Structure 1
Amino acid sequence: MAIRKIVLHPAEILEKKCNEVSRFDKKLAKLLDDMYDTMIEFDGVGLAAPQIGQQVQVAIVDVDDESGTIEMVNPRVLSVSGEQTGAEGCLSFPGLYGEVTRPNYVKIEAYDRKGKKYSLEAEGFLARAIQHEIDHLNGILFTSKVTRYLEEDELEGVADE
């Protein structure tokens, strides 16, 4: 396991759609392990593969709740509902935070590191983090959804995704 370098905006890879994963092997497992270590090292709650220079549909989320670490390979959003507005940050945009409105509920389908398909439903902050990371895999950055940028004094308890 290793800590990888975070790719910072305006790197081109951050705005490209990622390729689907077709091989569920040791290389993928190592990528997921490295992504977890990197996310923890930089105090994030999520990380997408393009943020460490890999153009593949792999993302992880860990919001420190009972859901644990969620590994998403080739994730697809099946349905969304509701609405929430909250502060978001991103490890690829250090020190930048903004208010973003997203669905409050999301249901996704994805694969785990072994290639087993699963579905997951999430609400609130976990749903926000999952959607933020899936956006990364489609080349969509949170800055394209910001309604208002936030000053540092407005940032109590905001996590970087």
Structure 2
Amino acid sequence: MLAQLMGSGVGEITAVVVRYYGGILLGTGGLVKAYGGGVNQALRQLATQRKTPLTEYTLQCEYGQLAGIEALLGQFAGKIVSSDYQASVWLRVALPFTHVNAFSTKLADFSRGSLQLLAMKNNPHLIVKNKGSAEMHFRAITRIVGLLVILFSGQ
């Protein structure tokens, strides 16, 4: 089972096998093969998500600049984590580390040098780029456990 999981290229994954009864007729080699085969079948049906390490920054801008900043963030796979609207707008933004320099250059061009990113402590954070619902994760786990139960209960 571990070999199947490690060879899948999927991180943050767990497989659980519940053996309700028997199985001694297969022997240890047969059980290992059956368990590994069950995990392999479940892995083929698993939907995956790509995670991207993002670095958070703060940015202060004027209200008139906000739409342009949002458009720039979209071009560089960034996102606004939080915003605080006062006399000016304070944004907490998250960007992929590989795009920070290019974004900073475009931001300086856009604002004629008046805006700059301010680094935050505790960086980088690992943020799911394409978020899946908890229900989707539960269904995937249920499907894996269901497959394994079917395989080993003889149904």
Greater RCO structure (CA 8 Å; 6+ sep): 2
More helix by share: 2
Which protein is bigger by CA-based radius of gyration?
2
Larger strand share, 1 or 2:
1
TM over 0.5: no
TM range (shorter): under 0.3
TM norm structure 1: 0.21
